[in-house]
Structure formats: C-alpha cells, structure tokens
Structure 1
Amino acid sequence: MRQNPERRTALLDAAIEVLARNGSRGLTFRAVDAQAGVPTGTTSNYFTNRDDLLDQITQRTRERLSPAEATVSKTLQAPRDRQLVTRLMQDLLERMRRDRSSYLAMLELRLEATRRPELRAALTKVFTANLQDGIRFHLGAGLPGDETTVVLLYLAMSGLLVDELTVPDTLAPYSQDRLVADMVERIVGPGETGH
C-alpha cells in the first residue's frame, strides 16, 4: 500500500465525487482514477479493496462536513439562546449546500449499507459518534434544551437536508431560513435559554 497522504486524500475526494454523481454501482477504482486524473491502477495501490475504499470515504466525508473550530468558536460568542441554535442549524444547512457532493455520497453510503452489514456497522459508528458529539457540544455549550432536543433537531435537519439536496423544488415555495427558525422554535421552545 502506498502511503502518500496527499494522494490518498485526493483519491478519496475523487471517490466522493464519483459516488455523489454515479452512485454506488458507478464507484470503481477505474472511475476514481479517471476523476482524480491519475494513471489507471493508482487507486488500487492505495486501497486494498472496495470495502476499504468505502470505509475511508465514510471517514473523509465526516472530515469534509465538520465545521471549522475557528468558525464555531466565533459563532459561540453570541448569547446561548434559541437564536444561536437557529444560527447553528442554518450554518449546518449552508455547510451541506457548499459540499453537496459529500452529503450525497453519505446518502449513497447509507443505501449501500442496507446491503452490506460491514458498511452498516461502520456508518452506525460514524453517525452515532456524530450524534453524540452534537449532544456533547450542545449541552457543553450551555445551549437551550436537553439531549432529546438535540436528537429531535438532528432528525428534523436530516429530513430538511435530504429534500434540499436531492429534490429542492419540493421545498422551493418555502423559505429554508424560516423553516429552520420555526423548527428550532417548535423543538427548543419560544422562551428557552441556555444554562
């Protein structure tokens, strides 16, 4: 196995684009090589098999979709109230829009996981970690609500993101900013403040 980290990352980014554009069946080592603009056979030098590639795509999409710590720190300078939760949810929506390919690749991985128990286990681990990180962040930052609040926000945002990034015309008549604000108000409550 080759160990050039920059090349591995470039191949994973190419694989994310292939997966988002062509779906799981279109994800081949040859397609990744073509997307990355590298000689045929390069991807097979970095990943032992397709399962290895899928596992590493899962990790790479998590990296790409995570917010920058500096951005989060700046955002958290605001009062810890419902408005801040709304802003964080709107930031999440914008982050997913900016890296639509990573989000779509994760949706493809979810579908593939229904047929591949090993991938389902890997995705369950990643999504559980994401949810637990979100709960720890929310509660640790003193934002309004409890653990159930965070789970409900996760579920509501997941639905909004799926429609926004796959069939956006469904939600076109509605302001996403207003939907996010109303969702947060109904889940968190109108007068809730943090600790």
Structure 2
Amino acid sequence: MRTNPERRTALVDAAIEVLAADGARGLTFRSVDVAAGVPNGTTSNYFANRDDLLLQAGMRIHDRLGADPAHLDQPPSTEFLTSLLHLLQERLSKDRVGYLALLELRLEATRRPALQEALAQRVRENLDENIRLHQEHGLPGDPLLLYLTVGGFMLEELTLPGVLPDGLLEKVIRQLVGSTPG
C-alpha cells in the first residue's frame, strides 16, 4: 500500500464526491481514479479493498463536517448555543456533498456490518462528546433533542430543499434552547 498522505486524502475526498453523485453502488476504484484525475489503478494502490475505501470515506466525512475548535471558546449562553447550531447548519450546507455521501454510507452500512460498527462507534463518540460538552458548559436545552432535531432538519433541507418553511430552524432552535435538559 502506498503511504503518500496527501494523495490518500485526495482519493478519499474523490470517493466522497462519487458517493454523493452516484451512491455506494457507483463507488469503484476506477470511478475514484476518474474523479481524482489520477492514472487508472492509483486507488487500488492505496486501499486494500472497497470496504477499506468506504470506511476511510466515512471517517473523513466526519472530520470534514466537524466543528472548528475556535468556535467553541465562548462563555456558555443561549446565544452561544444558538450560534453553534447555526454554524452546524452552515457547515453541513457548505459541504452538502459530504453530508449526502454520509447518508449513502449510512445506508450502505445496513448491508455491511463492519462499516456499520465503525460508523456507529464514530457517531456515538461524537454524540457523547457533544452531550458532555453541553452539560459541562451548562448550555440550555436537551442536547439529544437538539441533535435529533437539527439532524432531521438538515436531512430535509439537503435532500428535499424547499419542503420546510423559511425560518423554521430559527423558530425550533428558540423553542429547544428554552427547554430544560431531560
């Protein structure tokens, strides 16, 4: 296996593009080579098999969609939490391809136990960390309810734009941050 980290990252990012455009069934080493603009066979030099490529794409997507630590260094308040939720919406909207690829990977994980296990572990770790930080900083609202609500909202917005009314997220956030943790 080749070890050039920049090339490997570029190939994984190309795999994410393919997942978003063509779905998991369209993800082949050849399709990644084409999307990355590299010679045929390059992807197979970096990944042992398709499962390895799928797993690496799943981990990379979470890195791409993760929060910028600079945004987390503010005193806890309702306004701070609201701004974090808007930053999340902005990150997911800017990397729509990454989000759509993640949805494809989640569907593919229902058929691939090893991928399901790895993705579930990563999401659980992220969720546990978000809940811990939410509680540690005394932020308003129930962190699990916020996670589920914003996740559902983003699913609608990024897969079926225009279904939800304008301004709905702001209204929901105002209601949720005013609730008490359960």
- TM-score, normalized by the shorter chain, greater than 0.5: yes
Q: Which residue of 2 aligns with 1:35?
A: 35
Q: Percent same amino acid among aligned pairs?
A: 53
Note the C-alpha offset of 1:92. 0.3
Q: Which residue of 2 aligns with 1:143?
A: 139
In the alignment, is the contact (CA less than 8 A) between 1:86 and 1:180 conserved in 2?
Answer: no
Q: Which residue of 1 aligns with 2:88?
A: 92
Give deviations 1:27-62, integer Å, cap 9, x for gaps: 110000000000000000000001101111111001
Q: How does 1:1-195 map to 2 (within 5 A)?
A: 1-73=1-73, 76-77=74-75, 80-145=76-141, 149-171=142-164, 173-175=165-167, 179-189=168-178
Give the Cα separation in 2 of the matches to 1:187 and 1:71.
20
In the alignment, is the contact (CA less than 8 A) between 1:85 and 1:143 conserved in 2?
Answer: yes
Structure 1 range deviating more: 132-141 or 18-27: 132-141
In the alignment, is the contact (CA less than 8 A) between 1:29 and 1:44 conserved in 2?
Answer: yes
In the alignment, is the contact (CA less than 8 A) between 1:55 and 1:119 conserved in 2?
Answer: yes
- How many residue pairs get aligned? The number is 180
Secondary structure at the counterpart of residue 115 of structure 1: coil
- The TM-score with structure 1 as length reference comes to 0.87
- The TM-score with structure 2 as length reference comes to 0.93
Gaps of 5+ in 1: none
Q: What stretches of structure 1 move > 3 A for 4+ residues in a row?
A: none
Give the Cα separation in 1 of the matches to 2:6 and 2:115.
25
Gaps of 5+ in 2: none
Give, as a single letter, the amino acid of the residue that structure 2 aligns with 1:123.
L
Give the Cα separation in 2 of the matches to 1:41 and 1:136.
44
State the superposition RMSD in angstroms: 1.4
